[in-house]
Amino acid sequence: MASKPFDIILIGATGFTGKRAANYLKDNAPNDLNWGIAARNSEKLSAVADKLNLSVDRCFTVDTTDKKQVEAVVKRTKIVITTVGPFSLYGEEVIAACARSGTHYLDITGEVGFIKKMKDRYGDLAEQSGAKLIPFSGFDSIPADLSTLLLSREFDQPEKLNIKAYYSISGGFNGGTIATMLNKFETGEYKEMNDPRLLLHQSDQLIHPPENGHFFGYDKNINRWSSPFIMGAINSKVVYKSASIMRKMRKSYAKSISYSEHSSLGKWYNPLPFLFISLMLFSLTIFGPYKWFRTFLKKIMPAPGEGPSEDQIQNGYFKMKAMANDSQGNHHTLTMSYPGDPGNKSTVFFLCESALCLAESENNITEAKGFLTPATAFGMKLAVRLQQRGLQVMIDPE
């Protein structure tokens, strides 16, 4: 690591999310942190660099599907951040190069099946080189992952731990996120998402089915209309992976765990948000595998590189209420919130702060190497850091 001149290189700096990440680093990275940006299009990269007042020697042209170009960039830095998705199309060479060179890696993917394949191919190599590979470091899946970590600390390693998280969000659609979702249908990855143990391999962590995990209707737990949260199938698998790794670290959450996510959609007298979201979920589930439906969505939704307006991003928010109970009847509730569109502002906040946390305290976090989750890579250090920088978290007994 000492021979690598850069602390962080951000790949994808000309994309919609990448530009925001580059601006976040400009505003929040310590002055002594040496960071750079990379992208495929050199002209667009130069334009971004000019706005950021970055010198030419901190800019790198790289096609993430070109092995030699990727390796040339990865070997120059201690940490790679990438926002180039869909990651199943543009991420493998970056992960492989980081695993080979011992460079740490963070991304914002929600492509669980893809990450499973990457661990199978490069997990052992990353452990040998010392690389920490930390996918799921955006809105997918830091709120879920850290909430479970924080709630688990309120219990004494129970036989069973049950967690239900309810999300209320406001924001716009990001073209990159839409492209990733559609790619899951095109590649067939969506078929794997029914397996809650998808990321666990041969883990001995027990999982039990959540109660009413696919509930549609009026939920008395929150006295609001509710449906399954669209990211729940992703985030639950990351939570289960963290539970498995924590067990190996002798910091077990529980002998058996269940985790589910739900949308909080309005009070009893206003079922319209519930009806709209339910219709959207049913449409995606039923018609997503069909090419004609994906073609239709591509025409009406933002394209990659496009996203919501600045007003939508700044005025959006996410709020989460997670309820936990164990088999002995103990209950705790966590609330978490952050201002700004979750798929854009929150994601950039989580990603960049995770990278800065790693850059500033590499030797003071877990010694584990290879593929990790945010909770198992950083633990409480990231939870405390995010709260110091604007993430609102409160834990109270029910």
pLDDT tens for each residue of 152-195: 999 998 999 999 999 999 998 888 889 999 999 999 999 999 99
- Angstrom distance (rounded) from CA 253 to CA 153: 8
Indicate the pLDDT class of residue 363, thresholds 50, 70 and 90: low
- Angstrom distance (rounded) from CA 150 to CA 97: 33
| Of 243, 244, 200, 233, the residue nearest 111 (C-alpha) | 233
In 3-state terms, the chain is what percent helix, strand and coil (to 5)?
45, 20, 35
More confident residue, 121 or 306: 121
Whether 142-342+383-396 and 6-138+347-375 are alike in CATH topology: the answer is no
Q: Is the pLDDT score of 395 beyond 90?
A: yes
pLDDT for the residue numbered 366: 72
Q: Is the pLDDT score of 201 beyond 80?
A: yes
pLDDT for the residue numbered 108: 97
| Of 237, 239, 227, the residue nearest 198 (C-alpha) | 237
pLDDT digit string (tens) for 248-303? 999 999 999 999 999 999 999 999 999 999 999 999 999 999 999 999 999 999 99
Q: Of the ranges 47-51, 233-237, 364-368, which one carries the lowest mean pLDDT score?
A: 364-368
User: What backbone phi and psi angles, to 5 degrees, belong to 396?
Assistant: -135, 145
pLDDT for the residue numbered 397: 64
Mean pLDDT of 49-56: 96
Token pair 């999310």 is found at 17
Is the entire prediction scored with pTM above 0.85?
A: yes
* Neighbouring C-alpha atoms within 13 Å toward the C-beta of 165: 31
Pick the CATH number of 6-138+347-375 from 2.60.120.10, 3.90.650.10, 2.60.120.1570, 3.40.50.720: 3.40.50.720
pLDDT for the residue numbered 2: 59
Between CA 283 and CA 178, with CA 88 as vertex, the angle to 5 degrees is 35
| Of 77, 148, 153, the residue nearest 322 (C-alpha) | 148
Mean pLDDT of 370-378: 97
Q: Is the pLDDT score of 398 beyond 60?
A: no
Please give the biggest Cα pair distance in the chain. Answer: 63
- Angstrom distance (rounded) from CA 350 to CA 18: 13
Q: Are 142 and 318 in contact (CB under 8 A)?
A: no
Taking domain 142-342+383-396, whether its CATH number is 3.40.190 is answered by no
What residue spans define the domains of the chain? 6-138+347-375, 142-342+383-396
DSSP assignment of 214-229 equals: T--EEETTTTEEEEE-
- The identity of residue 261, as a single letter, is E
| Of 92, 49, 100, 137, the residue nearest 358 (C-alpha) | 137
Between CA 144 and CA 379, with CA 374 as vertex, the angle to 5 degrees is 95
Q: Kindly state the tokens that stand for 187.
A: 């590649």
Q: Is the pLDDT score of 136 beyond 60?
A: yes
| Of 341, 147, 368, the residue nearest 245 (C-alpha) | 368
Distance (Å) of CA 107 to CA 64, 102, 168, 371: 13, 16, 24, 12
Q: Of the ranges 23-32, 194-203, 378-387, which one carries the lowest mean pLDDT score?
A: 194-203
- Angstrom distance (rounded) from CA 1 to CA 307: 36
- Angstrom distance (rounded) from CA 42 to CA 160: 53
Percent share of the chain, pLDDT over 70: 98
